[in-house]
Amino acid sequence: MRFSVLTLFPELVESIVQTSITGRAIKSGRIELETIQIRNFAVNAYGQVDDALYGGGTGMLLRPEPVYAAWLAATGQSCPAEVVQHPELTRTIFLSPKGRVLNQALVEELAACPHLILVCGHYEGIDQRVLDAVVEEEVSIGDYVLTGGEIAAAVLIDAVSRLVPGVLPDQSAHEQESHSLGRLEQPQYTRPSSWQGQKVPDVLLSGHQARIDKFQYLSSLKDTLVKRPDLFNQLQLSAADYQELIEFACQDQNPLV
C-alpha cells in the first residue's frame, strides 16, 4: 500500500506516520509513505505557491499549477498530454471539510486501492480548477475546520494502514474493534484483577470461553446503546439478542447508565 502526500508541510505528516505501528510498517515495507513538497513546483524563484482570492476575501489560496505539477509527480507522469487516470490502481483524495466524512466503511473502501494520493490544502484551500482535474473524492475527518490537510491525511493513513495485512501483529485484531462490526468494542480489563476496590467482572476470570464470549458480546451491545444510539439503531439484532441485552442490563453489576 502506497501513500503519496502532496503538502507544504511534509515533516508534519512524516512525524506522525513514521511513529509507532505505522512507522514499523514503513520500515518493514508493508506500507510506503512518499511526501511531495508542493513548493518544489513553485511558480517563480521566490517559491510562490499561493495567491490572493479572485472576487475578494481574506487569506491566500494555493494556485493550480504547483498542485498539478506535484500531482503529476505523484502519478509518475511528467507530461500533462499523457495523463491517464486509473482509479482502481491510484485514487486521488482531497482532504477537505466539505468531503465525505471518514468512517470505518470508507476506510475499508480506501484500503482496497493500492495507491492513494492525498492532497493537503492549507491557508484558504486550493484553486477549484485543479481539484476538478485530479481529485476523485473529497474526504473530511469531521465537521470542523483544521488549518491544513496534513493531520487529516495522517489520520486517514493511520486508519487505512491498520487494514493492510501484516501491519497489526494479529490480523484479526481490527475485526473486533469498535466500528468494524457496526458496534463499539466492549470495555476491556488487564491486571490487577482488583484496583482501587473495583474488580474485573468475575466471568472474565472464569476461563469459560463461551460465557466470556457472550458477556463480551452483550457488553459491546450495551456500550453501543448507551454511547452511540445512532449505531445501535442500525444493528440487525434478533429477538433473543434484545431479551438477553435487557436481562444483562438489568443486573446490578451492569446498570444501563
Ligand X SMILES: C[S@@+](CC[C@H](N)C(=O)[O-])C[C@H]1O[C@@H](n2cnc3c(N)ncnc32)[C@H](O)[C@@H]1O
Binding residues for ligand X, rule: CB under 6 A, are 95-98, 120-122, 124-126, 140-142, 144-149, 152
Find where cell 509518475 sits.
76
Nearer to ligand X, 81 or 145 (CB): 145
Taking a C-beta distance cutoff of 8 angstroms, is the pair 235, 182 a contact?
A: yes
Please list the residues that pair with 5 across neighbouring strands: 35, 118
Closer Cβ to ligand X, 53 or 111, answer by number = 53
User: In this complex, which beta carbon is closest to ligand X, that of residue 102 or of residue 218?
Assistant: 102
CB of 138 to ligand X, least distance (A): 8
Q: How far is the CB of 73 from ligand X (least distance, A)?
A: 19
Tell me the three cell numbers of residue 18.
513514521
Closest separation in Å from C-beta 110 to ligand X:
14
Helices (H), the chain: 10-17, 20-27, 64-75, 104-111, 128-134, 150-161, 209-227, 229-232, 239-250
Give the type of residue at 214.
K
Centre a 10 Å sphere on the Cβ of residue 224 and count the other Cβ atoms it contains: 24
Exposed/middle/buried for residue 18 (C-beta within 10 Å: 0-12, 13-18, 19+): middle
- Cβ neighbours for 136, distance < 8 A, ≥ 6 positions apart: 85, 87, 91, 92, 93
CB 223 to ligand X: min, Å = 26
- The total of other beta-carbon atoms located within 10 Å of residue 37's CB is 18
CB of 123 to ligand X, least distance (A): 6
Q: Which is nearer to ligand X, 113 or 121 (CB)?
A: 121
Check residue 9 and report its DSSP letter: -
First-to-last C-alpha distance (Å) of the chain? 42
> In whole angstroms, how close is the CB of 121 to ligand X at the nearest point?
2
Shortest separation between residue 124's beta carbon and ligand X, angstroms: 5
Q: Which is nearer to ligand X, 66 or 148 (CB)?
A: 148
- The smaller minimum CB distance to ligand X, of residues 9 and 215, is found at 9
Q: Is 142 or 166 the residue whose CB approaches ligand X more closely?
A: 142
Which residues lie closer than 8 Å to 172 by C-beta, 6 or more apart? none
Residue nearest to ligand X (CB): 121
